[in-house]
Amino acid sequence: MKNLIFIVWAAMVIPSAYAERVTAPEVKTYVYKETNGVSRELEIYFPKTKQGSKKPVPGIIMFHGGGWGGGTRDQFRYLCHYFSTRGLVAATVTYKLAPKARIEEAKKTESRKRVCITDAKSAIRWYKQNAEELGIDPRKIVAGGGSAGGHISLLATTTPGLNDPNDPKGYDTTVAAYLLFNPALSAGDAKDPEVDFLQQLKADFPPSIAFFGSEDNWMKKGWNSAYKKMKSLGVKSADFRIAEGMGHGFFNRQPWADVCLIEADRFLKVLGYLEDEPTLAAPKTGEKLAKKH
Protein backbone atom coordinates (compact mmCIF):
# COMPACT_ATOMS: atom_id res chain seq x y z
CA MET A 1 0.00 0.00 0.00
CA LYS A 2 1.32 3.45 -0.83
CA ASN A 3 0.76 6.98 0.36
CA LEU A 4 0.16 6.53 4.07
CA ILE A 5 0.84 10.06 5.21
CA PHE A 6 0.18 10.25 8.92
CA ILE A 7 -1.68 8.92 11.92
CA VAL A 8 -4.16 11.27 13.55
CA TRP A 9 -6.69 11.25 16.34
CA ALA A 10 -9.18 13.61 14.77
CA ALA A 11 -10.99 16.24 16.78
CA MET A 12 -14.64 15.23 16.88
CA VAL A 13 -17.73 16.26 18.75
CA ILE A 14 -18.37 13.09 20.76
CA PRO A 15 -20.93 13.15 23.57
CA SER A 16 -19.12 12.68 26.87
CA ALA A 17 -21.29 9.77 27.96
CA TYR A 18 -20.39 7.93 24.78
CA ALA A 19 -16.69 8.81 24.94
CA GLU A 20 -16.43 7.23 28.37
CA ARG A 21 -17.52 3.85 27.00
CA VAL A 22 -15.19 3.47 24.03
CA THR A 23 -11.54 2.98 23.28
CA ALA A 24 -10.20 5.30 20.61
CA PRO A 25 -9.49 3.27 17.46
CA GLU A 26 -6.46 3.68 15.28
CA VAL A 27 -6.94 6.43 12.70
CA LYS A 28 -4.78 6.77 9.59
CA THR A 29 -4.90 9.12 6.63
CA TYR A 30 -4.02 7.90 3.14
CA VAL A 31 -3.63 9.61 -0.22
CA TYR A 32 -5.78 7.80 -2.79
CA LYS A 33 -4.74 9.99 -5.73
CA GLU A 34 -2.83 13.13 -6.65
CA THR A 35 -4.06 15.58 -9.28
CA ASN A 36 -1.97 18.53 -10.38
CA GLY A 37 0.03 18.33 -7.17
CA VAL A 38 -3.07 18.20 -4.95
CA SER A 39 -3.53 15.15 -2.71
CA ARG A 40 -6.96 13.57 -2.25
CA GLU A 41 -7.26 11.75 1.05
CA LEU A 42 -9.18 9.11 2.96
CA GLU A 43 -9.19 9.23 6.74
CA ILE A 44 -9.69 5.63 7.87
CA TYR A 45 -10.82 4.41 11.29
CA PHE A 46 -9.75 0.90 12.23
CA PRO A 47 -11.38 -1.25 14.90
CA LYS A 48 -9.45 -2.52 17.86
CA THR A 49 -8.71 -5.99 16.53
CA LYS A 50 -9.06 -9.09 18.63
CA GLN A 51 -5.82 -10.93 19.25
CA GLY A 52 -5.25 -13.57 16.57
CA SER A 53 -8.19 -12.37 14.44
CA LYS A 54 -7.39 -11.73 10.77
CA LYS A 55 -10.86 -12.17 9.32
CA PRO A 56 -11.73 -9.27 6.96
CA VAL A 57 -14.60 -7.06 8.03
CA PRO A 58 -17.09 -4.88 6.11
CA GLY A 59 -15.87 -1.42 5.14
CA ILE A 60 -17.74 1.88 5.09
CA ILE A 61 -16.78 4.81 2.85
CA MET A 62 -18.51 8.17 3.36
CA PHE A 63 -18.63 11.40 1.33
CA HIS A 64 -19.33 14.73 3.03
CA GLY A 65 -21.91 17.30 1.99
CA GLY A 66 -21.50 20.97 1.20
CA GLY A 67 -23.32 21.71 -2.04
CA TRP A 68 -20.64 20.02 -4.21
CA GLY A 69 -18.47 23.10 -3.68
CA GLY A 70 -17.76 23.08 0.05
CA GLY A 71 -17.64 20.98 3.20
CA THR A 72 -14.95 18.77 4.70
CA ARG A 73 -14.52 15.14 5.64
CA ASP A 74 -14.97 16.13 9.31
CA GLN A 75 -18.71 15.63 8.82
CA PHE A 76 -18.45 11.85 9.12
CA ARG A 77 -15.71 11.48 11.70
CA TYR A 78 -18.28 10.74 14.40
CA LEU A 79 -19.94 8.06 12.26
CA CYS A 80 -16.60 6.50 11.33
CA HIS A 81 -15.44 6.49 14.93
CA TYR A 82 -18.65 4.84 16.08
CA PHE A 83 -18.67 2.06 13.50
CA SER A 84 -14.98 1.34 14.09
CA THR A 85 -15.82 0.69 17.74
CA ARG A 86 -18.44 -1.74 16.42
CA GLY A 87 -15.78 -3.68 14.55
CA LEU A 88 -15.90 -2.19 11.06
CA VAL A 89 -13.32 -0.25 9.05
CA ALA A 90 -14.74 3.16 8.14
CA ALA A 91 -13.43 5.93 5.90
CA THR A 92 -14.35 9.58 5.35
CA VAL A 93 -13.16 11.09 2.06
CA THR A 94 -11.83 14.35 0.66
CA TYR A 95 -12.76 14.93 -2.99
CA LYS A 96 -12.41 17.70 -5.57
CA LEU A 97 -14.94 20.44 -4.95
CA ALA A 98 -16.89 22.05 -7.79
CA PRO A 99 -17.53 25.81 -7.48
CA LYS A 100 -20.92 27.12 -8.55
CA ALA A 101 -19.31 29.09 -11.35
CA ARG A 102 -19.29 26.97 -14.48
CA ILE A 103 -16.16 24.90 -14.88
CA GLU A 104 -14.26 26.48 -17.75
CA GLU A 105 -13.76 23.33 -19.79
CA ALA A 106 -17.28 21.96 -19.26
CA LYS A 107 -19.82 21.85 -22.04
CA LYS A 108 -23.17 23.60 -21.58
CA THR A 109 -24.88 20.24 -21.08
CA GLU A 110 -22.45 19.09 -18.38
CA SER A 111 -22.97 19.43 -14.65
CA ARG A 112 -20.32 20.86 -12.34
CA LYS A 113 -20.95 17.82 -10.12
CA ARG A 114 -19.04 15.54 -12.48
CA VAL A 115 -15.62 16.23 -10.95
CA CYS A 116 -16.82 15.22 -7.48
CA ILE A 117 -18.11 11.89 -8.79
CA THR A 118 -14.85 11.11 -10.61
CA ASP A 119 -12.87 11.51 -7.40
CA ALA A 120 -15.40 9.43 -5.46
CA LYS A 121 -14.99 6.62 -7.97
CA SER A 122 -11.21 6.82 -7.53
CA ALA A 123 -11.57 6.61 -3.74
CA ILE A 124 -13.79 3.53 -3.94
CA ARG A 125 -11.40 1.81 -6.34
CA TRP A 126 -8.45 2.59 -4.04
CA TYR A 127 -10.43 1.17 -1.10
CA LYS A 128 -11.03 -2.06 -3.00
CA GLN A 129 -7.50 -2.28 -4.35
CA ASN A 130 -6.10 -2.05 -0.79
CA ALA A 131 -8.82 -4.11 0.86
CA GLU A 132 -6.52 -6.89 2.03
CA GLU A 133 -4.07 -4.55 3.75
CA LEU A 134 -6.90 -2.51 5.25
CA GLY A 135 -8.55 -5.65 6.57
CA ILE A 136 -11.84 -5.19 4.72
CA ASP A 137 -13.96 -7.55 2.65
CA PRO A 138 -14.27 -5.90 -0.80
CA ARG A 139 -17.59 -7.69 -1.31
CA LYS A 140 -19.03 -5.92 1.75
CA ILE A 141 -18.33 -2.23 1.17
CA VAL A 142 -21.02 0.23 2.26
CA ALA A 143 -21.01 3.67 0.61
CA GLY A 144 -22.88 6.76 1.62
CA GLY A 145 -22.85 10.42 2.39
CA GLY A 146 -24.79 13.47 3.45
CA SER A 147 -26.66 15.87 1.15
CA ALA A 148 -24.37 16.43 -1.88
CA GLY A 149 -22.23 13.58 -0.57
CA GLY A 150 -25.23 11.27 -0.70
CA HIS A 151 -25.75 12.17 -4.35
CA ILE A 152 -22.03 11.68 -5.05
CA SER A 153 -21.99 8.24 -3.42
CA LEU A 154 -25.01 7.12 -5.43
CA LEU A 155 -23.64 8.25 -8.78
CA ALA A 156 -20.08 7.09 -8.12
CA THR A 157 -21.42 3.57 -7.65
CA THR A 158 -23.99 3.46 -10.48
CA THR A 159 -22.93 5.63 -13.42
CA PRO A 160 -20.63 3.78 -15.86
CA GLY A 161 -18.80 6.92 -16.98
CA LEU A 162 -16.88 9.75 -15.27
CA ASN A 163 -13.84 7.53 -14.66
CA ASP A 164 -10.32 8.77 -14.03
CA PRO A 165 -8.14 7.08 -16.70
CA ASN A 166 -5.35 6.85 -14.12
CA ASP A 167 -7.40 4.68 -11.75
CA PRO A 168 -6.20 1.09 -11.21
CA LYS A 169 -7.64 -1.29 -13.76
CA GLY A 170 -9.79 -4.24 -12.74
CA TYR A 171 -11.68 -2.60 -9.87
CA ASP A 172 -15.28 -1.53 -10.29
CA THR A 173 -17.13 0.89 -8.01
CA THR A 174 -20.18 -1.18 -7.14
CA VAL A 175 -20.98 -1.52 -3.44
CA ALA A 176 -23.07 -3.82 -1.27
CA ALA A 177 -25.21 -1.24 0.56
CA TYR A 178 -25.79 2.46 1.26
CA LEU A 179 -26.07 4.79 4.28
CA LEU A 180 -27.75 7.93 2.90
CA PHE A 181 -28.27 11.09 4.92
CA ASN A 182 -30.69 13.41 3.07
CA PRO A 183 -29.07 12.78 -0.35
CA ALA A 184 -29.48 15.85 -2.56
CA LEU A 185 -31.13 14.62 -5.75
CA SER A 186 -32.74 17.04 -8.16
CA ALA A 187 -34.82 16.99 -11.35
CA GLY A 188 -32.24 19.46 -12.68
CA ASP A 189 -29.70 16.62 -12.89
CA ALA A 190 -31.60 15.21 -15.88
CA LYS A 191 -29.71 17.57 -18.22
CA ASP A 192 -26.60 15.44 -17.64
CA PRO A 193 -27.53 11.73 -17.46
CA GLU A 194 -24.21 10.77 -15.89
CA VAL A 195 -25.06 12.72 -12.73
CA ASP A 196 -28.79 11.87 -12.69
CA PHE A 197 -29.52 9.04 -10.26
CA LEU A 198 -32.99 8.39 -11.69
CA GLN A 199 -31.45 7.56 -15.06
CA GLN A 200 -28.86 5.25 -13.45
CA LEU A 201 -31.19 3.51 -10.98
CA LYS A 202 -31.74 -0.16 -11.82
CA ALA A 203 -33.75 -3.03 -10.36
CA ASP A 204 -30.62 -4.55 -8.77
CA PHE A 205 -30.04 -1.50 -6.54
CA PRO A 206 -28.40 -2.75 -3.30
CA PRO A 207 -29.96 -2.47 0.18
CA SER A 208 -30.08 1.10 1.47
CA ILE A 209 -31.28 3.24 4.33
CA ALA A 210 -32.08 6.93 3.79
CA PHE A 211 -32.74 9.59 6.44
CA PHE A 212 -34.69 12.81 5.83
CA GLY A 213 -36.34 15.55 7.83
CA SER A 214 -40.02 15.89 6.95
CA GLU A 215 -39.45 19.59 6.10
CA ASP A 216 -36.46 18.98 3.84
CA ASN A 217 -37.09 20.36 0.34
CA TRP A 218 -34.49 17.97 -1.08
CA MET A 219 -36.75 15.08 -0.17
CA LYS A 220 -39.54 16.66 -2.19
CA LYS A 221 -37.28 17.78 -5.06
CA GLY A 222 -35.62 14.46 -5.73
CA TRP A 223 -35.66 11.60 -3.23
CA ASN A 224 -39.41 11.00 -3.37
CA SER A 225 -39.15 10.42 -7.13
CA ALA A 226 -36.20 8.06 -6.67
CA TYR A 227 -38.01 6.13 -3.96
CA LYS A 228 -41.10 5.87 -6.16
CA LYS A 229 -39.00 4.50 -9.01
CA MET A 230 -37.39 1.96 -6.67
CA LYS A 231 -40.85 0.69 -5.82
CA SER A 232 -41.82 0.49 -9.49
CA LEU A 233 -38.64 -1.49 -10.25
CA GLY A 234 -39.38 -3.94 -7.46
CA VAL A 235 -36.58 -2.82 -5.18
CA LYS A 236 -37.69 -4.06 -1.75
CA SER A 237 -34.58 -3.36 0.30
CA ALA A 238 -34.81 0.45 0.44
CA ASP A 239 -35.40 1.63 4.02
CA PHE A 240 -36.67 5.23 4.26
CA ARG A 241 -36.78 7.02 7.65
CA ILE A 242 -38.25 10.44 8.41
CA ALA A 243 -37.64 12.84 11.31
CA GLU A 244 -40.88 14.73 11.78
CA GLY A 245 -40.54 18.51 11.85
CA MET A 246 -36.85 18.47 10.94
CA GLY A 247 -35.17 20.15 7.97
CA HIS A 248 -32.08 19.52 5.87
CA GLY A 249 -28.95 18.37 7.69
CA PHE A 250 -30.77 17.44 10.88
CA PHE A 251 -28.55 14.34 11.23
CA ASN A 252 -25.54 16.55 12.00
CA ARG A 253 -26.98 17.59 15.35
CA GLN A 254 -27.64 15.73 18.56
CA PRO A 255 -29.74 13.92 19.55
CA TRP A 256 -30.55 13.13 15.92
CA ALA A 257 -26.96 12.11 15.11
CA ASP A 258 -27.27 9.23 17.57
CA VAL A 259 -30.85 8.40 16.56
CA CYS A 260 -29.73 7.97 12.93
CA LEU A 261 -26.63 5.98 13.88
CA ILE A 262 -28.71 3.58 15.94
CA GLU A 263 -30.99 2.89 12.97
CA ALA A 264 -27.99 2.62 10.60
CA ASP A 265 -26.45 0.13 13.03
CA ARG A 266 -29.63 -1.99 13.05
CA PHE A 267 -29.75 -1.84 9.24
CA LEU A 268 -26.20 -3.19 9.01
CA LYS A 269 -27.03 -5.90 11.55
CA VAL A 270 -29.88 -7.11 9.33
CA LEU A 271 -27.35 -7.40 6.49
CA GLY A 272 -25.15 -9.53 8.74
CA TYR A 273 -22.40 -6.91 8.92
CA LEU A 274 -22.74 -6.32 12.67
CA GLU A 275 -23.59 -8.39 15.71
CA ASP A 276 -25.34 -7.58 18.98
CA GLU A 277 -27.25 -4.38 19.66
CA PRO A 278 -26.11 -0.78 19.02
CA THR A 279 -23.84 0.53 21.76
CA LEU A 280 -25.43 3.99 21.60
CA ALA A 281 -28.38 4.68 23.86
CA ALA A 282 -31.61 6.15 22.53
CA PRO A 283 -32.11 9.76 23.71
CA LYS A 284 -34.11 10.17 26.91
CA THR A 285 -35.99 13.01 25.19
CA GLY A 286 -37.72 10.44 22.98
CA GLU A 287 -36.76 11.49 19.44
CA LYS A 288 -37.61 8.74 16.93
CA LEU A 289 -37.60 8.19 13.20
CA ALA A 290 -40.78 7.23 11.38
CA LYS A 291 -40.57 4.49 8.75
CA LYS A 292 -41.85 5.43 5.29
CA HIS A 293 -43.81 2.68 3.53
pLDDT tens, position by position, 136-191: 999 999 999 999 999 999 999 999 999 999 999 999 999 999 999 999 999 999 99
Give buried/exposed letters for 69-92 (b at 16+ CB in 10 A, else e): eebebebbbbbbbbbbbbbbbbbb
Residue 215 has pLDDT above 60, yes or no: yes
Nearest Cα to 30, choosing from 69, 65, 61, 75? Answer: 61
pTM above 0.85, yes or no: yes
Report, as an integer, the average pLDDT of 66-89: 96
Angle, vertex CA 33, rays to CA 27 and CA 34, nearest 5: 115
At the fourth CATH level, the homologous superfamily of domain 4-102+121-291 is Alpha/Beta hydrolase fold, catalytic domain (3.40.50.1820)
3-state secondary structure of 117: helix
Give the pLDDT confidence score for residue 49 in this predicted structure: 73
**pLDDT of res. 11:** 36
Confidence of residue 13 (pLDDT cuts 50, 70, 90): very low
pLDDT for position 20 = 37
Q: Is the pLDDT of residue 99 over 90?
A: no
Measured in degrees and rounded to the nearest 5, phi and psi for residue 169 equal -75, 150
Bridge partners for 63 per DSSP? 93, 145
Picking from 4, 102, 101, the residue whose alpha carbon sits closest to that of residue 44 is 4
| Per-domain boundaries in the chain | 4-102+121-291
